[in-house]
Chain A
Amino acid sequence: MTIAAFSLRDVRFKGVLDVGFLEIPAGKITCLVGSSGGGKTSLLRLLNNLASPDQGDIRFFGQPVESYDPVLLRRRVVMLPQVPPVFPGSVGDNLQLALRLSQRRPAAPDRLVRVLSQVSLVKDLDTPAAQLSGGEKQRLALGRVLLLDPDVLLLDEPSSGLDENTERQVFTGLVVQVREGGRTIVMASHSARLAGEFSDRLVHLEGGRVLEVQHRDAGEGRQL
C-alpha cells in the first residue's frame, strides 16, 4: 500500500485551482502536466504552504498542513521556483546561503563540490553567480535545494533552461538519489521527456482541475 505524502480534498484557490481529490504518494516521483495557467505552480505553492487555500483540506502525511509550523514544514518540503533567483555572491555563497537561511550549519567545500557535480554544473565555488547562464543558474538553484536534503522536493519546471543531454544527466542522478533515499518529488513540467522517462505518476491539470491521474509505475490510468 502506498502512503500519501499529500492528500487534497475539495481544495479551491483564487479561481485558479479547484481540486476535488488528489493524493500524491510518498517515495515516488509525481509529475504535474498540463497547459500554462492550469494551476501547476499554484498547487506546488499550496504544498509548500507559501499560500493557503481559500477552502478545502490539504494534508501532509495525514496531518492538516495548517497544523505544522510553516517554517519547519518548508524545511521538509522544499520548493524550487520556476525562475529561481540567484542571491548576490559566488556559487559557493549561494549554496551556503540555503543552509544559513534554513538555520543549518555551513557545509564543507567538498560537499558543495559534490552537489555541483550532481547537477552537472562544472564551476568553481568562487565563480560569481551573476555570471552564470540561465540554465546554469537553474542548476545552481537545484543544487541549493538538494543540499538541504529534504523529504519532499517541489520542482517547478526544473528543466526549462536545460538541453536534452543535461536534463537527462541531471535527472537520472537525481532520480537514483531520490529512490535510494525514499524521497518524494513533485514537479511541474512541460517536458514530455521528463514526464515520460522519470515520473511514477502523472497528474494532468487543466483549468485548475485534475483531469487524469496516470499511475505509470502500475501501468494504469484513471480518468476523473
Chain B
Amino acid sequence: MNGVISIGTLQMALAYVYVLVLMAIVKKRGIGGEREILWSSFRMTVQLVAVGYVLGFMFTSPHPLATVSVYALMQVFAVHTILGRLRFRPGRQLKKVIAGSLVVGTTVSTAYFLLAVIGLKPWFDPRYFIPVAGMIVGNSMTGVAVGIERLHSSIKNRRDLIETALMLGAPPELAARDAANEAFWAAVLPTINSMLGMGIVFLPGMMTGQILAGVSPLTAIEYQIAVMLAILGGVTAALYLLVDAGTRTYFNRRCQLDLAD
C-alpha cells in the first residue's frame, strides 16, 4: 500500500458525479445557476490539466524566468479575480492599491518563507516556489477581496461618524480607523478560524496531498504548519497595505471624505 493509486479515465469520470448531483439539486429546487456550475467545473478541469503540463515541463527544466513568469501570471489572475468579484466600482486609485497590496504583501511573505524559513536553493526551484506561492497568493486573494468589500461598506456605513471626526479636526486615517480595523479583522478572521479547525475538523489540502504522495505525516505537518504561518503572513501583509492605503483613497487632497459611487 505504499504506491500512489493512479486515477484512470473511468474513475475520474465517476468523480464528476458530484457535479451532476449538484446540478440535479439546483434544477429540481429551481435555484438556477446550472450554467455557472458547468462552467466552473469545466474551467477547473482545463486549468488544472494545463497547469499539470506546465509544471511537468518546468520541473524537468527549471529556469528563473519561467518561475517568475508563472508567479506574475498568478498575481495578474488573482488581481483580475478580485476586481471581477467586487460589488462596487472601484476608482483607478483603489484598483492600484488592491493590485499593489496583493503583489507586495504576498511577494514579501513568499520570499521570506522560501529564503529564510526553508532556505530554498536555487531560489527559483519551481517544485517549491510555485505551490507555496500559489497557496499564499490564493489565500491572500480571498483576504483582500473580503477586506476591500468590508472597507468600502464600513466607510459608507460610518459616513456620519467619519465626517463628525473630520469636523473635530481628526486626520483622515484617525477618522476612518474603526472602519479600517473592522475591515482588517473581518478579512483576517477566516484564516485564523481555519487554523483553529486545522487537523481536527479537516486535514489541509497540502498535507493531504503530501500524505497521499507517500510522505510521512510528520514531515507533512512540518510543511503544513510552516506554510499555514506563511499564508497568515501573506494575508496580514496584503491586508495591512490594503486597509492603510485603501482608506486614503476615500479622502481627497483636502482630507474630505469622497464617496464617489
Contacts and interface: CB of A to CB of B under 8 A. Distances in A.
Whether A associates with B in a native complex is: yes
Given A49-B256, A50-B166, A66-B254, A85 B171 contact: no
B164 A85 contact: yes
A49 B168 contact: no
A66 B167 CA distance: 16
Contact of A103 (B161, B163, B174, B256): B174
B154 to A, nearest CB: 14
Contacts of B175: 101
Contacts of A148: 168-169
B171 A50 contact: no
Interface in B203-261: 254-257
Contacts of B163: 50, 81
Nearest to A74: B169
Contacts of B104: none
Contact of A71 (B160, B161, B164, B169): B169
A211 interface: no
Contacts of A49: 254, 256
Given A84-B164, A87-B161, A50 B169 contact: no
B68 to A, nearest CB: 43
B170 interface: yes
Nearest to A68: B254
Contact of B167 (A50, A52, A83): A50
B55 interface: no
A80 interface: yes
Contact of A74 (B160, B167, B174, B257): B167
Given A50-B163, A85-B161, A101-B175, A70 B256 contact: yes
A81 B168 contact: no
B23 interface: no
Contact of B255 (A70, A81, A98, A154): A70
A101 B175 CA distance: 7
B169 A102 contact: yes
Contacts of A195: none
A121 interface: no
Contacts of A70: 254-256
B165 to A, nearest CB: 5
A100 B168 CA distance: 10
Interface in A94-129: 98, 100-103
Given A70-B254, A71-B255, A81 B164 contact: yes
Interface of B: 160-161, 163-171, 174-175, 254-257
**Among all A-B residue pairs, the 7 with the closest Cβ atoms:** A75-B169, A101-B170, A102-B169, A79-B167, A74-B169, A70-B255, A85-B160
Given A48-B167, A101-B175, 5 more contacts: A52-B256, A71-B255, A74-B167, A103-B171, A154-B167
